[in-house]
Every structure is written in structure tokens, then in C-alpha cells.
Structure 1
Amino acid sequence: MDATPVQAAEPGLQADAGVPWHASLRTRLMLWVGLLLALLLLAAIATAFYAARSRIVADAEARTRFEAQQAADRLDATMRSVRISGESLIDLGNRVELGREQLLAAMEAMLDANPGTVGGLVALEPGVLADRGRLAYYVGIAARGVPDRDLLADGYDLVGREWYQRTLQATSPWWSEPYFSETAGGRYMTTLNLPLRNREAKRIGMVSLDVPVQALSSSLESLRSLGQRTALFAPAGTIAVHPEKGVAFAHTLSGYIQRAGRGDLAPMEAARAQGRALQFTHADARSGTTRFSVLQPVGDSGWSLQLSLGRDAMLADLEQATRMLGLIGALVALLAALAVLRLARRITVPLTELTASAGHFANGEFDWPVPHDARGDEVGVMARALERARDSIRLQLDQIGRYAAEQQKLQSELDIARNIQRSMLPRDRDFADGSRRYRLQARLEPAKAVGGDFHGHFLHGDGQLWFVVGDVSDKGVPAALFMVRALTVLEVATAAGDAPDRVLADAARHLAEGNDACMFATVLCGVLDLASGGLAIASAGHDAPLLRHADGRIEAIVLESGPALGFEAGDDYQVWHGRLQPGDLLFAWTDGVTEALDRDDRAFGEERLGAALQVAQDAADACDGLLRAVHGFADGAPQSDDITVFAIDCASAPVAGGWPRHLRVPDQRDRLPGLQQALASTLGEAGIEPRRIHDAQVIVEELVCNLMDHGAAAGVDALVLAVAVDAGRVVLDIRDNGAAYDPLAHPPPDLEADIAQRPIGGLGIHLVRELSQDVQYRRQDGWNALRVVLDAILPPS
């Protein structure tokens, strides 16, 4: 078809027609290309970085080893020059007989010729010089800030000094530990001590040359400028030079390791003590810095030099170069992404226009033209597919509209059908007959709009209440139609029937006629005599109901089921007979209750049904409580079948007859026969069996006569008798205003003892206990109150 071109969106990172800029293809293409290029550059830079890093670290460590050796050689040269000066002086003295003045002049000449020294000591034992006297003279270089000093004239005890005695005993020169010298201008000095021997190798004195520590450390300045850390250790481990302030001259290396927690330097201390070289990598635990250190002995002087270079310093230039490369790579990736974006604009413009057309279609504008449908590439294929989709959507929308109208009409008809179906079901009702009151409750919840479950009750004849509960084999409209037919047939059958089995047989015959759909229904049919509570129940394939007694006991009615209604005519239905007493509750249901499923396809089951029924208060609470239990168990799982519950409870009607009755004691004994007659009449109207009425009369006669005969002595002048029938039990309350007396505290009589020896009393209370189910005494508001409870029904003999 011909199409009018659509106005394309302006290129740029603006929103395309209906597509945000950040979701457009061009933006994604730009980002992916930029990201891929950035990853490639990152991988290349990372590879180059780690390769260069290994090489740089190796070169830096080699350079550190070389520079440490060079620095040690320079120090060794300086210290050797000092030693040579001392040895030259000794050699001169051994070869030429020098007097005191000549020896001191030679010493001064030697010191002046060596720029590393600032002074020296010449000490001779007595008898060496021509005057046979001792010599102890310190020759200083005035130009270097050190004056001469005659130690003997100053009274200096040279012989008592440890270093003097050590030098006399020494076989070779030795260097002292650094010390602070006020004489040498307030500087830290180290001294080379050389022993003097005559031709016979006899100890005749010593020569010592003082060298400022600064003269030794000055040769290390060039190393510090390269970012390296240097340290200088004296023969005994004293730190003479250290990069940290306050460490030099204050600690030995071992002391510094312990004080500063530098366990990483322990290998270096061991190597220094052994006079050997060491190179190792270690980490400063305080700063986390990893360093490469070289320990180099300074010749045979006993001094050691440490040169250390941190990894950060090694890699500083590399890291800077890597950052620069990263910035350049990011710029390259950005430029490449922008170039891709510009190229993508040319490719995605047709797609943008197609997207705009699709946006109009989404808004219902199906007459909007589709551009580029004549192209032969992928864009043209997409455009033609979009046209076909548009035409298909038009057709489907028309069909959906017609279908929605039909569905709306069908739903309206189903709503009407549901209302009609519900209107056919009877409402909850209360029935009363004499001393009994019945409450009938039912609930129905179809799985669809209409369902196949049903319930009904019909009052026919003289106080005969018929009830049915049924479940059709299907769901939905077919089941609802069959349900209407079944309920109508059952209502007619109960009107003409005299027993549940005959009603089911008659209904089975009628429902089997013309049942071409082969549908069927399970039905529970029963009849209740409102006057006596008598029950008769039969089942056509339906679950037997439960009977909850007044004491909470739940009885599963044993009822043999006959065939369901609708298959064929039959009369093989068994009838269960029983009685609904005050406090009892009859409960029936359809299998939509017990077969309700939760999310894990577990069934609700009869055990949960019994538990819900156990706590129900009455018929309404039984129906509503069970539905709540089922829905809570399902927890949102879809309802798979119709649900119907049906319950009838029985309660005693209020007792009439002017109770309670008041008597005067003992003057109104003649009223006892009338009291007994009124008690019998009242209990008979409440439906109490005659044998139980007789037991109540015996109990009243025994207790009232006992009070009339003996109560006066205890101050009794008034007696009140009250009677009530509640929850299937007869309750007798007898109260008197005498002195407090609990007849139940009297010990039971010994019925096997000889009557002549048996104590008087106790038989009346024993008789009351035997005839009743419960006897209780209490003292209340100045009255003795005795309550006697009897079951309304005698247990079977």
C-alpha cells in the first residue's frame, strides 16, 4: 500500500517517538560499543601494567642492591683512609726514632692530610720516649673546630679506660660505637683505635683517630634524594643513621625492633650480628608498606649499611603512567562511542519512524500510515509485518467487541439464573413445639455462577419437618437445571411420603425418567418430629451427617447408603432412627467441604470438619465457622466444587409454671403433694421422660421432708425450690435460710452393716447421689444452696 512518510525525529539523545532516549537502539549501541572498547583497553592496560610492574620491581631491586654495594664501598674507602693514616703514623714511629714533639707534629700532619678526621690521640706507655715518661696527648685540628689537649696535664685517667685496655690487648684496629663529644664541638663521633707494638711486639701504647659520624653519613645523601631510606649501624648495633627522627644514637637495632614492633627487621639484625649481607622483602606492620631492603657490611670495619626502597616508590611512575593511559583510553572509548552514535542515527532513523507508527497503533489510531514498506531490506520486512499486524488487530478487535457483548449478555443471564436459584432455596428458620426450640441454618457457595448443590426443608403434616441436602454430579448451568428438577421432585415426594426411604425411592423413579444427560444427584433426606425430637434419615449416595450431643461428644451416624438419584428407579434405602435432644446439633454437608484443596493439593478432610464442629456454639456458628475453616485452609486456592453446609440445633424452651416455689418450714407440709404435681407437670411439658420425672420427685421429697422434719432446730423457717431444663438436663435448686450445714460432708452409710448397729442418717443424701449425675453445695448470702443435676434421658438399661 502507499504510505505517506512519517516525520522523523530530530537526531540526538532525545526521546524517539514513544521510546525514551536511554532505551533507544542507538543509545544502547553507543553504550555497548563504548563499553566493549573500554573493556578491551582496560584489559590491554592491565596486561601491560602487570608485565611492566614485574620488570620495574626487578630493576628497582637490582638497582637497590647495586647502590647499597656502592655506598658500602664509599664508606669503606673513607674508613680505610682513616686506618691508613693511623697505620702510617705507627709505621713512621717504628722506623724513625721520634721524640715527643716530632711524634705530635707527625700526628698533626697525618690528621690534616685526611679530611675525614678531626683529631687523634697518641698514648705511650712509660719508657718508650727518650725521657722515659708517659705520653697521652690529643691532637686536634683547630680549623675543624677541635683543640689540642694534654690529657696527662688535665689529670685524665687514661689507663683506667676500658677502650684503652681493649686497644692494648687488640691484635687489629677496631672502631668504637658512636658517642657524643663536647671536645669535638658537640658532635657524634666514632673512633678508630690502633694498638702500638715495638719491634719485639711489645705493647707500648695506642693511636686513635676521631671521625664525625656526619662525615660517614654525608656520602648517603645522594641515596635519600632518590626516595630510598638509609640506615647505618655501628659494630655493636648502635643505629648511627636512620630515616625516622629520634632513633639515631638512641637505640640499637635490636632495641628498636622490640620498641617499635618491627618484627619484620629481625632477619636483618641476625645478618648484621653475623657480619653477612642480606637482601629481603618485608612489610612494615605499622603502615602496611612493603619494602625491599639490602643490608651490606662496610668492609671489615664491623659497620653495616641498610638501603631500603618501598614498593610505592618503585611503582609511582608506573601508576602515574597507567592513570594517564586510562584517561587516554576512556577518551578513545568515548570518541568511538560518539562515532558509533552518529553512524547509528543513520541506521535507526527508519526504525524510529516505524516505532512512531507502532505508537499510534498502540493508541488505537489504526489508519496511521506505515513508512518504508517498499524497502527490500530488513526494515521493509518489518514495515510489511507491521501492516499485516495492524490489519489483524483490527479484525481481532472487532471480534473481541462482539465476544465481549455476548459475554456481558451471558453474564447478565447467569446473574439472573443465580438469583432465581438462590430464591428457590429456603431461608433459615426457627421452629418451636412445646418445650423444644429448633434452629435450622444452611449455607451454599457455588464454584461457578450457578451450581448443583442444594438444600431444602418442608413442613408437612402435624409437626413433621422434612429436610434434604443434595449434590448434583456436575457444576455450572447443567447441574443447576438438574438441581431445580431434583429439588422440585423431592418437595413433592416429601408431601406425599411417610418415611425418608419411600421419599428417596419415589424421587429416584421420577428423576430417572427422561434423564438422557445421565446426570445424577446424591441426596440426604430426613424428617424431624418437632414435638419429640425424633429423627429418621436415609441417604442416596450421600455422606452420613454428624450428631454433636449436648456433652460435646460427636457421633458419626452409621447409615448405609443407597444408590444416587437419576440412574434408575430403586427402593433399596436404609433408614436411621434417632432423637435430637436439647443441646444436640445435627450437621450435614456436601463433598465440596471435605474435598476442598489447599495450594499443595491437600484435602480438608473429615478430621478438620469435626474439629470445626466441636467448637461451634449453635447451628449458625457451625455453618459459618466451618466455611471460615475451609477458606482459611484453602488459603486462596481456587474453589474446585460447590460447597453446602446444613445444620439443625435443638434447645429447651423456657420453663414456665411460676417457678421458683416458696415454702414455710415446717408449717406448710401439706403443700408438698401440690409441689410434686406441679414439678411433674412442668417437666412433662419440657419433654422429660416419665422415669426421670419420678427420680426428680423422689429427690425433692427426700430433701424437702428432711428440712421440714429437722430444719427448725437449725433455724430454718423458709425454703425455696427452683427447677430448670437446660441443654438436655434437669436442674433442681433447693435453698434454706438455716445455719450453715453441708449435707455432702456427711460420710456415706455402711449399707452392709447390721441395721441395728448402723448409725442414723446419711441414707437420704446417698439416695440423692445415686439418682443424680451431680450434687453441689455452697453457702451464699446466709442461705444453704444445694444444686442437683439429672440427665433428661436415662441411659439404656
Structure 2
Amino acid sequence: MKHTFSRSFATRLSIYVLSFTLIVFTTIMVLAYNYSQEKVTNYAIERTHGLLNNMVTEISSQLSSVKTTVNQSLWMLEGGLNHPDSLRHIITEVVKNNPFIVGSGIAFRPDYYKDKGKYFMPYAAFRNGKDGEIDYHVLGSQNYDYPCMDWYLIPQLLKQEYWSEPYYDEGGGNIIMSTYAKPLYNSDGEVFAIFTANISLSQFTDTISHLKPYESSYTYLLSRNGSFLTHADRSKIMNETIFSEAFDGNNQAQEQIGHEMLAGHTGTKHFNYKGKDSYAFYTPIQHIGWSVCTVCPSKIILHDLDSISREIIYTFLAGMLALFLMVYSIIRRLARPLEKFSESARQIALGRFDVKLPNVHSNDEIKDLHDSLSYMQHSLSAYVTELQATTASKERIESELSIAREIQMGMIPKIFPPYPDRNDVDLHAILHPAKEVGGDLYDFYINDNRLYFVIGDVSGKGIPASLFMAITRSLFRTLSQQAVSPARIVTEMNNSISDNNESNMFVTLIVGILDLQTGILKLSNAGHNPPFIIYPDGEVSLLEFKTYLFAGVMEDVVYSDEEITLKEGSKLFLYTDGVTEAEDIDKQLYGEEKLLEVLSQNTSSDVRSTVDAVVSSVAGHVKEAEASDDLTILLIHYKP
């Protein structure tokens, strides 16, 4: 019979080899990828922060040049204060001599020059960008109330230089700008004017937009209050803050980045931006309070690493396929002789022990297999012959045991109710041997309105115990015919059993005589479990009578009777230790407490139902565990 490809030895062994190879490769690949990913990410962080620092240095240099230009112009300004019309030349030179300044002005406090009116702010700015002509204006009016603007108020109040938040200068430069404001002091230390130099934010846009460390990355500039000063999406410039964008996207990580940037921190944050795993690299621009940030998707940073990894994986998979075909071919060739041995083994299994085995000329494991199969042929032939004889002997023994069981069970009463024509007593009993035959016994009969009964448990199990049980039962029947004392019956049974008891077996017994007219019950206990009595009111208790030595150990043991009077409706429950010592799979005993509980729950039941309830309870306790002892119960209900 041919094996299918998917079930053949060569296929399975090839798969095992390749699976192990795949596991090793996958482990190495994962470790190498994680290591490379960490290195690539660290390189990206260092590279991007280097570019950001270069750009920040460049922007800081531009801003510093603005401050320097203003400060260098102060000496000319001091000489022209008495001639306000000469200030035009000073501010024009400021605009002309610094490529980053798009406008400059001197905002005097109201009514500083009485002849110039309340507002006087000479202002010079390029007309159309840096290549246009410089226009001169005198600003200040009800519509351009510059003393209310932050670039005027803040340095006047703080008495220190100040870079304003970006704003749209309507009426001045008419562009989005930021103002460097330098307060001017009189001899009393009071601020009488603010010297300003304006820079256009548009000049930073190109510088920042050109900073693209990776494809799809972008850089934005953030003001002191979190507003976007530059952004890849121009609609956000001066219209949104980083916090509003974070709120719209419910992005707590971006909000945290905003707080870090406004606090002037430098750092790197791994976060999710619009559904993309990204990195944010940010650093502050000192002296002005702005901060710049580059956002880059993670997959762009790892693009080259992922491409190389995919190429390695594809190459490995192709190699795995080639390796599988080569390994399968080699193993298939080496395993081909096994098919012939498999067919021979199948013929041997069908009983053909004379089948000819394939010839083997190699001196390896295949030769060992040939010799093993040959040895198995001869061994199986001898074993089958022996097994046939053993099976026949076993069947004969089982047949004899079955007959012995039938004989044993035929010796005890098993028709219930046993006295259907009597209404003064009812009985029910069961005997379940642990093996084919057992050593438990019970018996009863009525003579002269007396109920004679016995229950016993022979030491040991199996056939010896069953023979001892048969002798004990026969002695009870014989010796109880003329006796009215259970003690005398037990005494004579003990002497008879002890005489020539070379097997040293013994039996525990309870022999009893119940007078069905008076209810007087006499018992003699030879080492047996004390019985339970179920009273008519439902109370259940043990009969704690004196217990004597079990029968069969030694002759002339003195036994005595214990006597009580049963009330009408009382029940006497006798049992062997196969009930209370029944074990479950955890070796836990059934116990007298559980038996007492079951009897208490069935005080009003008839004798058969009560016995069945106990048997079911014991079976529920034992479950799958093997029976450890014979189980016997005798229940007598006295109801005159």
C-alpha cells in the first residue's frame, strides 16, 4: 500500500528539517531586525536633530543680526531726536542695511512732539518685497492706535527688549510679521519711544520647508502660544495651534508634544499622527521663545531596512523551496527500502510468519531493521502458539469462575420480598463481590416466629474467600437450627472454623435472632461493623454493642448476647466494610458519616428503596475508581 505524499516519511522528515531551519532563521531575522531598527532609529534621531540644530542656528543668527542692526543704529537716533524729520533717514538705513528687516519704525509716546500731533511713528518699509523701493510713512491714528499693541506695551511696561508674537500688520507692513522692539529711555529712565524692526515670517517658510530629512516628512514653526507660524498646510498658519489640531484628532501625544515645545525642551516623541506611526523631533529657538518641529512617518525612516529585510526573506523562501526538494529527494532515496519492510511487517501482522524478508546488503540501520524483523518473526510464531494455549486455559478458568459465582449467589437468599405472606417483617439485601466471587455473606430464615439472620465478611478476596464464605454460611444454617442464643451460634461457628484452620483465614460476623412477636432482638458481634438502627420517629444511630474477636482465629473464645427490644416500625441496617471503606480515585473513604446522612434522608422509604439509595450514594462516591472490597447490605424492617 503506497503512502500519499503528505503522509510519507520523507515528506514529514523534510518538513521537520525545514521547520527547524525556518524557526532558526525567523529567530535570527527578528533579532537582527530589532537590532537594526534600533540603530536606524537612533541614527534618524541624531541626523534629524543635527539638521534642526543647524536650522535653529541659522534662524537665531538672522534674529541676532536684526537686534545688532537696531542696537548699532541707536547712536544715530540719539543725535536726531531734536529733529524728528531726520529720523526718516535713520530707519531707512536700518531697512536698507539688513536683508532680514522688512520694515522699521520709531513709535513715540503720545504727544511727545506737540507739533506732530498725538501720534507720531515714522515708519520705513519695502513696497513690494525686498526688491522693491522703500516707502516712508508716519503711522499713528485712531485706526492705528499703536500704543495699544503688544509690541509697544510689553517693552514699555517691562522696560526691556521684546520679540512680539507674530501678527498681521495692517496699516504698517500689511504682512504677517514679528517685531523686535527696543525701548528708548530719557535721562530720567522713562521710556519715551519704542524702536522697532519687523521681520516677515515668509522668509522662514522656505528655510523650514526645505528641511526634509526624509521623504514625506515636514517641518513646522511654533510660536510662544502654540500657533503655527509655518506649516506644510498653509491654511493652518496663524489660524490654528498645535493644541487645536491635537484636540480635533483626539491626540493626547501631540498635545504633550505641544507642551514640551512651549516649555523650551528638546526631544523626540514616538506617536500616532492621523493614523500613521510617526516620530516628532523638536527643539527651541532661544531668545525668541519659538520652537521648531519635524514630523516623519516611521515607515519612511525604516523604508530601506524594510526593503532589505523583504529581499532577504524572499531569497530565503526560494532557498527553502530548493532545500526542501533536495532534502526530500535524498530522504526518499534512503527510505525506499523501508517500504518493502513495511509490506513484510504487514504480512507478518496478518499471521504469515513465514513471509520472506527483503535482502539487505548494507551494514547500517536498515540491516539492523532486517535482523529485528527476522527475530520478530520467530518470536511471534512461538508467542502465538503459547498464547493460544494460555487463552484456552484462561477461558476454562473464567468459565469455572462464572459457575462458582452462580453457585455462591445461589447459596444466599435473593428473592425479595422473601415473605410476602407475612406483614410483621420485611427484608432486603444485596451482595456485590469486588471480583468474580467474594467473601461477604448474609443469610436469614424464620423458625417459630423468630427471624435468624447473619452478615459476615471473610478476610481476603477471590476463590479462597468464597470457599470460606460457603463454609461459614453452612455452619450458620446447621448450628442455628436448635439455638435461641446468637452467642452460642457464634461460639460453635468459631470453634468449628478454628479447628484445622491452616490457611489462618477469619470472618467477622453479626448473628442475630429477632422475636417477631415480642420485638426482642438478640445480637452477638464477632469483630463486625456495628449496625445502624432507624427508629420510627426518623432518628438514626449506631448500636454500640460490645464487639468480640472475629471467628476463626482461636478456639474457646467466649461470646455473649446483647439484647434490645425493637419498637414497632424500627429498621435494622447491617452492612460490611465495603460500604464505609469504599474509596474514590483520591483514596477518600465513604465513611460512617456519609452513610448516616443517606439513611437519615430515607427513613420513610421502604427497605428496597433505602438499600438502593445507599448503593447509589456509594457508587457516586467511588465513580471510576476500582472496587476495593465486596459490598453487602442487609436491612430488616420490624412492623408487627
Tell me the TM-score normalised to structure 1 length. Answer: 0.63
In 2, are the aligned partners of 1:146 and 1:185 still within 8 Å (CA)?
no
Aligned partner of residue 306 in structure 1, secondary structure: strand
Q: How much has 1:384 moved relative to structure 2?
A: 3.0
In 1, are the aligned partners of 2:280 and 2:294 still within 8 Å (CA)?
yes
Q: 1:257 to 1:269 in 2, by over 3 A?
A: farther
Aligned position for 1:346: 330
Matched, 1:521 2:510: no
Q: How much has 1:32 moved relative to structure 2?
A: 0.7
Q: 2:22 aligns with which of 28, 31, 34?
A: 34
Number of matched pairs: 616
In 2, are the aligned partners of 1:455 and 1:470 still within 8 Å (CA)?
yes
- Distance in 1, Cα, partners of 2:622 & 2:227: 87
* 1:101-127 Cα deviation digits (max 9, x unpaired): x986897798678765666668999xx
- Distance in 2, Cα, partners of 1:186 & 1:493: 135
Q: 1:629 aligns with which of 594, 603, 617?
A: 617
Aligned partner of residue 448 in structure 1, secondary structure: coil
- Distance in 1, Cα, partners of 2:244 & 2:471: 110
- Distance in 1, Cα, partners of 2:121 & 2:73: 18
Q: How much has 1:600 moved relative to structure 2?
A: 3.7
- Distance in 1, Cα, partners of 2:159 & 2:425: 132
* 1:230-267 Cα deviation digits (max 9, x unpaired): 31648x99864456766644689999999998454556
Q: 1:325 aligns with which of 305, 308, 318?
A: 308
Report the residue type matching 1:32 in the other structure. F
Report the residue type matching 2:398 in the other structure. Q
- Distance in 2, Cα, partners of 1:89 & 1:255: 45
Q: 1:180 aligns with which of 149, 164, 168?
A: 168
Question: In the TM superposition, what are the counterparts of 1:107-118 in structure 2 within 5 Å?
Answer: none
Percent of aligned positions that are identical:
21
Q: How much has 1:152 moved relative to structure 2?
A: 8.9
Q: 2:291 aligns with which of 302, 306, 310?
A: 306
Q: 2:220 aligns with which of 230, 233, 257?
A: 230
- Distance in 2, Cα, partners of 1:530 & 1:155: 132
- Distance in 1, Cα, partners of 2:417 & 2:153: 131
Report the residue type matching 2:316 in the other structure. A
Unmatched tracts of structure 2, length 5 or more? none
- Distance in 2, Cα, partners of 1:522 & 1:165: 116
Aligned position for 1:376: 363
Q: 1:651 to 1:76 in 2, by over 3 A?
A: same
* 1:289-315 Cα deviation digits (max 9, x unpaired): 553322234xxxx545533234x45x6
Aligned position for 2:457: 471
Q: 1:640 to 1:105 in 2, by over 3 A?
A: closer
- Distance in 1, Cα, partners of 2:421 & 2:78: 154
Report the residue type matching 2:7 in the other structure. A
Matched, 1:416 2:408: no
In 2, are the aligned partners of 1:34 and 1:333 still within 8 Å (CA)?
no
Report the residue type matching 1:531 in the other structure. Q
Unmatched tracts of structure 1, length 5 or more? 1-6, 272-277, 653-797
* 1:732-779 Cα deviation digits (max 9, x unpaired): xxxxxxxxxxxxxxxxxxxxxxxxxxxxxxxxxxxxxxxxxxxxxxxx
Aligned position for 1:773: none
Q: How much has 1:195 moved relative to structure 2?
A: 8.9
- Distance in 2, Cα, partners of 1:107 & 1:566: 136
- Distance in 2, Cα, partners of 1:195 & 1:562: 123
Q: How much has 1:451 moved relative to structure 2?
A: 0.9
Report the residue type matching 1:447 in the other structure. A
* 1:366-388 Cα deviation digits (max 9, x unpaired): 65665574422233324433443
- Distance in 1, Cα, partners of 2:317 & 2:70: 69
Q: 2:281 aligns with which of 262, 286, 292?
A: 292
Tell me the TM-score normalised to structure 2 length. Answer: 0.76
Aligned position for 1:593: 579
Q: How much has 1:472 moved relative to structure 2?
A: 1.9
Aligned partner of residue 481 in structure 2, secondary structure: helix
Larger radius of gyration: 1
* 1:503-541 Cα deviation digits (max 9, x unpaired): 334444444455443433333323333333343333444
Q: 1:185 to 1:651 in 2, by over 3 A?
A: same
Q: 1:171 to 1:574 in 2, by over 3 A?
A: closer
RMSD: 5.1
In 1, are the aligned partners of 2:570 and 2:637 still within 8 Å (CA)?
yes
- Distance in 2, Cα, partners of 1:160 & 1:464: 132
Report the residue type matching 1:231 in the other structure. L
- Distance in 2, Cα, partners of 1:612 & 1:158: 104
Q: How much has 1:564 moved relative to structure 2?
A: 4.1
Aligned position for 1:680: none
Report the residue type matching 1:452 in the other structure. G
Aligned partner of residue 220 in structure 1, secondary structure: helix
* 1:138-168 Cα deviation digits (max 9, x unpaired): 6665555889576499999999787789999
Matched, 1:533 2:519: yes
Aligned position for 2:481: 495
Aligned partner of residue 223 in structure 1, secondary structure: coil
Matched, 1:213 2:198: no
